[in-house]
Amino acid sequence: MTQFILRRLLILPVVLLGVSVVVFMVLHLVPGNPAEVIAGPDAPPETVRQIEVELGLDKPLPEQYALYMGRVLQGDLGRSLRSRRPVLADVLDALPNTIELTLVAAVITPLIAIPLGVVAAARRRSALDSGLMLVSMVGITAPAFATSLGLMWLFGYQLRWFPISGDAGPLWTLDGLRSVFLPALALAIGAVAALARLTRSAMLDVLNQDYVRTARAKGLREQVVLLQHGLRNALLPVVTVIGLQVALLLSGAFVTETVFAWPGIGRLAVFAISSRDFPVVQGTVLVIALLFVLINLVVDVMYAYVDPRIHYS
Amino acid sequence: MATIARPLPTADAAVPHSGAALPAGRPLWRRFVRNRPAVIGLCIIVLMLALAALAEVIAPYDWRAQDIINRFSGPSPQHLLGTDELGRDILSRVLYGARFSLTIGFGAVAISLAIGTLVGLVAGFYRGVDGVIMRVVDIMMAFPGILLAIAIVAALGPGLTSTIVAIGVNEIPGFARLNRSLALSLREREYVMAARVLGAPDRVILGRHVLLNLISPLIVFASLRMATAILVGATLSFLGLGVQPPVPEWGAMVSTARQYIATAPHTFVYPTLAIFITVVGFNLLGDGLRDALDPTLRD
């Protein structure tokens, strides 16, 4: 166990270094002269030259990377080419909103998925089961932007239960809760669908076991059989997947935040790419990848701790 | 939400690992035809390809033709799927859009299949470089879901070609890992050993004995990743980072339709349905092929 965690920690710097190289290269993959692309087609040569100097493009590539890393390690992600604000400030403004959205989605995912899976398994082969499985198949296959827009249309425009865009306030206020609900549900929907299906099949596996038959035979109520004998044992594979899904929610933030105008880091990145604001693009991509790597590390270590049967070689 | 995540390491298990090129027993085609969902998937894909190829013949209007007076009209005999914000015929645009979406899918999978297979085989067979290659793959996998594709599109700028390249690169790690694990198991097979003992050069071993045995798992995996590539392509275009309007790529159509969702939901529904049906088609086909090519994996 300790060895596994140590090895994971040793690989971490290598992966992070690689991530930084990829992020650094974003600016240098730009076809032609990046400074000209940033300045626009009609910009005078002085402007182009000024941007070259500001981004350090006039220096050799390895030196540029070294300078870039030096700044990043000091927490300096450069300045936005559009707003002139430090990128780190923009990122730190947006990040809590993304974390709030992701956390709410992560909390509601098992709360919706597990009961649905249990009900489907308990009413196996009923109309309810087939219906739930069909809906979950759609939830898995449909593009995220489509399900987001569908939810917005239904709950925002038709039923008018929830606001359709923006963040109305912190989580502990009623307005804040209402405004986070739709985006969080949209973000969670794919994970909910996948998890509900998994819960159902894990439950069906367990319900075929001898000890479940014994529990029924000795006259326990069906509810007790399902929840205490069934769900308890079905939860392990389910819990394993939850962590993975939570990490992936991060990458769903691009679509959800754009659709619901949620002021998070995904929307910041999409704006920055559209306006060719490369320092902001690099900063946001770096921070999201960093978060993903760290969450995965925590999840892996937790699994190794929770389930000693897991071996890593 | 669609899972546009890259295939996880465990996804390897979902693809046949058997070394047999084609399993014995009932002929492949008959096994495939008996699998109804797979046949439906194949029909969907063939239909989509036909519609894309014959768009000029089938489409009732030019995809650019505007009719401002009749904008936002609902489905009618003149416009079977209605018109959009410029009065353009949505059916015609969806038909032409099939070209762009399928091109993205095939192009991206071709890139990742070629590079991923090469890299994965090299890693699996030449253990000396395995560590380096797999660390690079690990680094690429540190970017969740579509983030790597987004970073590449950010650099290359919007457009069809950069979208294809971005998604192609995004999909390389999955193909590399699959090929590496297949190569690791194949290199221990008796017939590969025998060929080596007989003095066959690496190029013959890899080309004849290994690559042939990779074909069926690769077809299955590529079919499933086509679905993902089309989804990611539509997502990038939806975000305004991929193919740009007025080109009728399905995701780009939804991106424009999004502004009118409250008043004209039909502009949003049909391109979305087209994406959905195509993705379902490739998924059904991939699952069906897996069952037909490797019956031991049927669940």
| Tokens standing for residue B110 | 């071709």
Kindly report, residue by residue over A44-92, the tens digit of the pLDDT: 888 888 888 877 788 888 888 998 899 999 988 888 888 889 999 999 9
Scanning every residue of chain B, which has its alpha carbon at the shortest distance from the alpha carbon of A186? B1
pTM of the model: 0.87
One DSSP character per residue, B100-164 reads HHHHHHHHHHHHHHHHHHHHHHHHHH-HHHHHHHHHHHHHHHTS-TTHHHHHHHHHH-SSHHHHH
Please answer whether residues B235 and A255 qualify as being in contact, where contact means their C-beta atoms are separated by less than 8 angstroms.
Answer: yes
Residue B4 touches partner A, C-beta closer than 8 Å: yes
Residue A185 in this model has a pLDDT that exceeds 50 = yes
Kindly report, residue by residue over B60-95, the tens digit of the pLDDT: 888 877 778 877 877 888 878 888 888 788 888 999
C-alpha to C-alpha distance for B116 and B170, rounded to whole angstroms: 11
pLDDT at A176: 84
pLDDT at A84: 86
Other C-beta atoms within 10 Å of B223: how many? 23
Report the percentage of chain A scoring pLDDT > 90. Answer: 32
Residue B20 in this model has a pLDDT that exceeds 50 = no
Kindly report, residue by residue over B110-141, the tens digit of the pLDDT: 999 999 999 999 998 888 898 899 889 988 98
| Between B241 and B208, the higher pLDDT residue | B241
Chain A (267-286) residues lying within 8 Å, Cβ to Cβ, of chain B: 269-270, 272-274, 278, 281, 285
Q: Which whole number is the average pLDDT over A189-217?
A: 89
Q: Which CATH number fits domain B31-63+76-293: 3.40.630.30, 1.10.10.10, 1.10.3720.10, 1.10.40.30?
A: 1.10.3720.10
Residue B187: pLDDT band with limits 50, 70, 90: confident
Is B280's CB within 8 Å of A146's CB? no
pLDDT at A253: 87
Q: How many CA atoms lie within 13 A of A161 on its CB side?
A: 10
User: DSSP alpha helices (H): ranges in chain B?
Assistant: 28-33, 36-53, 55-58, 90-125, 127-141, 147-156, 160-186, 190-197, 202-204, 211-238, 250-257, 266-293
Q: Which whole number is the average pLDDT over B159-188?
A: 92
Other C-beta atoms within 10 Å of A250: how many? 23
Q: Of B191, B218, B213, B237, which Cα lies nearest the Cα of B289?
A: B218
Residue B18: pLDDT band with limits 50, 70, 90: very low
pLDDT at A30: 82
C-alpha to C-alpha distance for B111 and A157, rounded to whole angstroms: 42
Residue A144 touches partner B, C-beta closer than 8 Å: yes
Scanning every residue of chain B, which has its alpha carbon at the shortest distance from the alpha carbon of A268? B239
Chain B (155-174) residues lying within 8 Å, Cβ to Cβ, of chain A: 155-157
User: Which CA distances in Å does B189 have to B18, B195, B210?
Assistant: 11, 10, 10
Instruction: Please report residues of B whose CB lies closer than 8 A to that of A187.
Output: 1
C-alpha to C-alpha distance for A126 and A132, rounded to whole angstroms: 10
Residue A310: pLDDT band with limits 50, 70, 90: low
